[in-house]
């Protein structure tokens, strides 16, 4: 239930700011911190990311900037090895070697090719966990924002989410950071920095369906395809990339 505590902390932060919200944030963070001592960093990391993005969203009033800040923080956590299990990836690799002859052969072949299997496993485990935490944190922040709109501005969250897009400058920042991460050997940046672009693409689909007045079943079909097929994710990312430059929703609204 850590996601509920993260969403509540995000709601209070969005409404009152960081300092007045510290008691609520601590109430959520203290039990999550205990779980961290037991080897599970996900609850506390999610709460911290939600609070960070809520602070940026409250001050800047831009979802894109809030998600960029959260993605950079998640990339830093991945790079620091925050999401690795106790003892690192070595013990897990050893268990896989002992449990599956096929995995043993594959890892041995990668080692013969000069690849550091432990380093690859470290990056994979940390990257996948960090990506899941980032996506969960964005969902918690969206839940908090929808609660806030329901209490103080009914319908405001729908309008805000349908308008979400990355500006050309923000898109340039994303591309520059991904390239810099690849050049400097910081792959964690590229592993999570596409999340703001993905959310912007999802927002584009929501906005298009809303402007066209289409049936909600289209959204259900979209999410089924998004969850089950990689090509759909790539299409959404490409649409969000183009939308940052072309602003499809503005053009469609002017035509309507």
Three-state DSSP class for 48?
helix
Structure tokens at 154: 């009914």
Domain ranges of the chain: 1-84+129-160, 163-256
- 253: Cα within 13 Å, side-chain hemisphere: 9
Least confident of 95-99, 163-167, 233-237: 95-99
Q: Is the pLDDT of residue 230 over 70?
A: yes
Give CA–CA dist 199/160, Å, rounded.
Answer: 13
Contact 169, 181 (CB under 8 A): no
Long-range contacts of 61-69 (CB under 8 A, 24+ apart): 63/160, 63/161, 63/164, 63/199, 64/164, 64/165, 64/166, 64/167, 64/170, 64/196, 64/200, 65/170, 66/141, 67/138, 67/195, 67/196, 67/199, 68/170, 68/173, 68/174, 68/193, 68/196
pLDDT of residue 104: 64
Rg of the chain in Å (alpha carbons) = 20
pLDDT of residue 249: 87
Residue 234 CB-density burial (10 A; 0-12 exposed, 13-18 middle, 19+ buried): exposed
Q: Which ranges constitute the DSSP H helices of the chain?
A: 2-16, 18-37, 42-60, 63-79, 90-99, 101-112, 117-152, 156-162, 168-184, 187-192, 195-212, 217-228, 230-246, 248-255
Q: Is the pLDDT of residue 84 over 70?
A: yes
Q: Is the pLDDT of residue 92 over 70?
A: no
Tell me what the mean pLDDT of segment 2-18 comes to: 95
Tell me what the mean pLDDT of segment 143-166 comes to: 93
Query: Quick one: DSSP state of residue 85?
Result: P
Give CA–CA dist 56/164, Å, rounded.
Answer: 15
Angle of CA points 148, 151, 157, to nearest 5°: 50
Q: Which pTM value belongs to this model? A: 0.90
Query: Quick one: DSSP state of residue 167?
Result: -
Task: State the CB neighbour count (10 A cutoff) for residue 110.
Answer: 13
pLDDT of residue 193: 93
């Amino acid at each position: 239930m850590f996601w509920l505590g993260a969403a509540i902390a995000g709601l209070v932060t969005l409404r009152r700011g960081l300092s007045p919200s510290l008691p609520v944030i601590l109430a959520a963070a203290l039990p999550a911190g205990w779980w961290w001592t037991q080897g599970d960093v996900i609850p506390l990391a999610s709460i911290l990311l939600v609070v960070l993005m809520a602070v940026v969203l409250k001050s800047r009033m831009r979802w894109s900037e809030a998600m960029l800040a959260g993605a950079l923080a998640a990339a830093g956590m991945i790079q620091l090895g925050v999401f690795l299990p106790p003892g690192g990836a070595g013990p897990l690799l050893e268990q896989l070697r002992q449990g599956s002859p096929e995995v043993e052969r594959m890892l041995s072949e990668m080692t013969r090719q000069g690849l550091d299997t432990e380093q690859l496993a470290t990056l994979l485990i940390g990257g996948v966990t960090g990506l899941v935490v980032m996506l969960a944190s964005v969902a918690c922040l969206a839940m908090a924002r929808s609660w806030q709109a329901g209490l103080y501005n009914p319908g405001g969250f729908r309008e805000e989410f349908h308008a979400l897009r990355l500006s050309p400058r923000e898109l340039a920042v994303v591309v520059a950071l991904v390239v810099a991460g690849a050049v400097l050997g910081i792959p964690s940046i590229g592993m999570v920095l596409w999340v703001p672009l993905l959310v912007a693409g999802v927002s584009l689909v929501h906005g298009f369906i809303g402007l066209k007045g289409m049936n909600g079943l289209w959204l259900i079909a979209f999410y089924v395809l998004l969850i089950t097929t990689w090509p759909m994710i790539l299409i959404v990312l490409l649409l969000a990339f183009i939308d940052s430059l072309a602003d499809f929703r503005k053009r469609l609204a002017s035509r309507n």
